[in-house]
């Protein structure tokens, strides 16, 4: 009897749930993609004006009103073609935003005064994309922007005077800079360069001196020093790594270096970042390789002796050395364990 009552109860709950599901109101698809009624609230530099974005002519535009006021907001932009995606204040009166002109994804920097007047395009260069490097919130009349005006593939750094619209080139991109950074005075002092695989942090002592690498080799030197301290590794043992790599390179006719290398050669080479000398540092080269995998049966019939895979493993602990959880431990420990546990 109790079992019959339990079954009846379950059937009743199932029916009630199904009825509730059938009677639930569907949410229109447009509600998931429509613009919010109001969003992106900001405060002016003097703390007296509140701004936000809300739709006008179906596009997100910027509105303002005095802080603490109940008066109707005033619209200060009139974008009809595309939404304004974001904006920020510069001082008490200026608002800055990026605008995609003509749908070519080449954003322009636009400045509008809250007190009135039309928005002003301060980077009106056809086919040139602008990006904000640093808004320099401490300096109401200055900001740093990137422009691919000189070469389409790279962005040079410019200082923009918001009062006059004047642009001053402050750092020219040699072709490998992916980002710029400023000091507390708003001057470009560091950059990140890439060779397509690794990033190098660059620094310059003044806004007019050349950039020099400060982190890549230094970070590896720090890791080597830590390994010395933690495991008692010697300088000669570290040099053996470069010697072994050179011995393998001598077997490749296309290798960059063809001269033998000894431990003493490594130790006597020019110091780059203690304890690493130039011979400890790998050459920057581009190349590719392929690993051909086939069945064991087919491999036995090939002309060259095969190398049988007994196990595989993979592990990722960091993207750059500056992100390593432990300077002396890599993901090889994890991947090696996986490979050992893999079935033969």
Residue with tokens 């992106």: 40
Write down the pLDDT at residue 282.
Answer: 81
The model's pLDDT over 71-109, given as tens digits with 9 standing for 90+, comes to 899 999 999 999 999 999 999 999 999 999 878 889 999
Question: Mind spelling out the 3-state secondary structure of the chain?
Answer: CHHHHHHHHHHHHHHHHHHHHHHCCCCCCHHHHCCCCCEEEEECCCCCEEEEEEEECCEEEEEEEECCCCCCCEECCCCCCCCCCCEEEECCCEEEEEEECCCCCCEEEEEEECCCCCCEECCCCCCCCEEEEECCCCCCCEEEEEECCCCCCCCEEEEEECCCCCEEEEECCCCCEEEEEECCCCCEEEEEEECCCCEEEEECCCCCCCCEECCHHHHHHHHHHHHHHHHCCCHHHHHHHHHHHHHHHCCCCCCCCCCCCCHHHHHHCCEEECCEECCCCCCCCCCCCCCCCCCHHHHCCCCCCCCCCCCCCCCCCCCCHHHCCCCCCCCHHHHHHHHHHCCC
Write down the pLDDT at residue 24.
Answer: 75
The model's pLDDT over 59-72, given as tens digits with 9 standing for 90+, comes to 999 999 999 988 89
CA distance 317 to 324: 7
The model's pLDDT over 256-276, given as tens digits with 9 standing for 90+, comes to 888 999 999 999 999 988 899
Q: Which of 162-171, 298-307, 326-335 has the lowest mean pLDDT?
A: 326-335
Q: How far is CA 206 from the centre of its chain?
A: 26
Q: Output the six-digit token pair for 96.
A: 């800055």
Write down the pLDDT at residue 309.
Answer: 85
Looking at residues 133-144, what average pLDDT do you find?
94
Dihedral angle computed from the Cα positions of residues 159, 163, 164 and 165, in that order, rounded to the nearest 10 degrees: 50
The model's pLDDT over 13-30, given as tens digits with 9 standing for 90+, comes to 454 555 545 567 888 887
Write down the pLDDT at residue 77.
Answer: 96
Write down the pLDDT at residue 1.
Answer: 46
**Are the CB atoms for 313 and 342 separated by under 8 Å?**
yes
Write down the pLDDT at residue 284.
Answer: 65
Q: Is the peptide bond prior to 56 cis by the omega test (within 30 degrees of 0)?
A: no
Using only the alpha carbons of the chain, give its radius of gyration. 31
Query: Which one has a higher pLDDT value, 2 or 205?
Result: 205
Residue 10 has pLDDT above 90, yes or no: no
Looking at residues 265-293, what average pLDDT do you find?
84
Average pLDDT, the chain: 87
CA distance 245 to 95: 57
């Amino acid at each position: 009897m109790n079992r019959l009552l339990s079954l009846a109860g379950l059937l009743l709950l199932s029916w009630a749930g199904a009825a509730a599901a059938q009677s639930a109101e569907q949410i229109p698809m447009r509600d998931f993609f429509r613009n919010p009624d109001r969003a992106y609230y900001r405060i002016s530099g003097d703390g007296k004006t509140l701004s936000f974005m809300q739709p006008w002519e179906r596009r997100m535009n910027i509105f303002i009103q005095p802080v603490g006021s109940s008066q109707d907001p005033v619209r200060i932009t009139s974008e009809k073609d595309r939404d304004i995606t974001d904006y920020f204040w510069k001082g008490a009166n200026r608002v800055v935003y990026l605008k995609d002109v003509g749908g070519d994804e080449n954003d322009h920097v636009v400045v509008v005064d809250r007190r009135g007047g039309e928005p002003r395009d301060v980077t009106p260069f056809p086919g040139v994309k602008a990006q904000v490097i640093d808004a320099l919130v401490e300096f109401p009349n200055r900001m740093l922007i990137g422009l691919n005006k000189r070469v389409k593939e790279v962005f040079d750094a410019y200082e923009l005077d918001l009062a006059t619209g004047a642009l001053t080139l402050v750092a020219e991109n040699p072709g490998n800079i992916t980002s710029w950074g400023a000091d507390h005075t708003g001057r470009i002092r560091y950059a990140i360069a890439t060779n397509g695989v690794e990033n190098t942090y660059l620094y310059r002592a003044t806004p007019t001196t050349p950039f020099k690498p400060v982190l890549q080799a230094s970070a590896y030197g720090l890791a080597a020093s830590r390994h010395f301290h933690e495991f008692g590794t010697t300088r000669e043992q570290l040099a053996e790594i470069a010697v072994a790599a050179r011995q393998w390179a001598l077997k490749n006719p296309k290798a960059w270096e063809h001269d033998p290398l000894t431990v003493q050669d490594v130790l006597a080479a020019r110091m780059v970042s203690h304890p690493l000398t130039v011979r400890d540092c790998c050459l920057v080269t581009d190349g590719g390789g392929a690993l051909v995998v086939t069945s064991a049966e087919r491999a036995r019939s090939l002309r060259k002796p095969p190398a049988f895979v007994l196990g595989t493993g993979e592990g990722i602990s960091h993207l750059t050395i500056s992100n390593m959880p432990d300077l002396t431990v890599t993901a090889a420990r994890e991947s090696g364990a996986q490979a050992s546990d893999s079935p033969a």
